[in-house]
């Protein structure tokens, strides 16, 4: 099946695409094309580019071809307006968004620095209450599962487990 392409007026620079999907400009421009063998070539190379590089402007890419390289993050959740100002515990927030309580409470153990301040302006403590809007912002900005949200990148050679591990 042939891959569908976007019209030329919808093409984007890697800088625009990186900002849209949450990558840094440097990562999208300098790392991704070198790390991923199947990273798409630009539809229109930079103007004035030569064998030695250089040239003005930026290469244009088809966003449809870049889609497989979008970071894999959970879809953001939304709450009703009346729920945003509710004061909830971590377990209460989990019930509010419909997930297992351990999914939220493990954040305090694994990444306590990501928790917002409590309603009384303190850091987390047992049975602490938070504003649901603050927890929602924290929940929606968390990365995907595992050590980073980009699963396509192969493990780094020095992090691979050897036979004696």
Query: Mean pLDDT: which of 17-21, 118-122, 135-139 is highest?
Result: 118-122
Helix axes 90-97, 132-140, angle to 10 degrees: 70
pLDDT of 53-93, one tens digit each? Answer: 555 567 889 999 998 888 766 667 888 889 999 999 999 99
* Cβ pair 119, 85 in contact under 8 A: no
Structure tokens at 146: 């595992």
Instruction: Find the mean pLDDT for residues 16-38.
Output: 85
| 81-140 topology per CATH | Multidrug-efflux Transporter Regulator; Chain: A; Domain 2 (1.10.1660)
Domain-wise residue ranges, the chain: 8-69, 81-140
Q: Average of pLDDT values for 123-143?
A: 86
Given this model, what pLDDT does residue 1 score?
Answer: 47
Mean pLDDT of the chain: 78
Alpha carbon of residue 68 to chain centroid:
13
Q: How confident is residue 40, by pLDDT bands cut at 50, 70 and 90?
A: very high
Buried b (16+ CB within 10 A) or exposed e, 44-68: eebeeeeeeeeeeebbbbbbebbee
Q: How far apart are CA 86 and CA 10, in angstroms?
A: 42
Tell me the torsion sign for CA atoms 124, 126, 131, 135. positive
Q: Give me the pLDDT at residue 146, please.
A: 43
pLDDT of residue 95 exceeding 70, the answer is: yes
Q: What percent of the chain has pLDDT over 70?
A: 72
Using pLDDT thresholds of 50, 70 and 90, give the confidence band for residue 50.
low
């Amino acid at each position: 099946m042939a891959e569908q392409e976007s019209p030329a007026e919808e093409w984007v620079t890697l800088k625009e695409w990186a900002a849209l999907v949450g990558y840094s400009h440097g990562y999208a421009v300098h790392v991704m094309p070198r790390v991923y063998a199947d990273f798409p070539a630009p539809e229109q190379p930079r103007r004035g580019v030569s064998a030695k590089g250089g040239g003005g402007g930026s290469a244009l890419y088809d966003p449809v071809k870049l889609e497989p390289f979008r970071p894999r993050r959970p879809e953001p959740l939304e709450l009703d307006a009346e729920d945003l100002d509710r004061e909830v515990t971590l377990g209460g927030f989990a019930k509010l968004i419909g997930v297992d309580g351990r999914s939220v409470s493990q954040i305090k153990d694994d990444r306590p620095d990501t928790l917002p301040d409590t309603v009384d302006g303190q850091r987390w403590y047992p049975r602490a209450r938070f504003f649901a809007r603050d927890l929602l912002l924290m929940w929606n900005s968390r990365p995907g599962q595992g050590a980073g949200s980009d699963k396509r990148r192969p493990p780094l050679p020095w992090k691979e487990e050897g036979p004696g591990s």
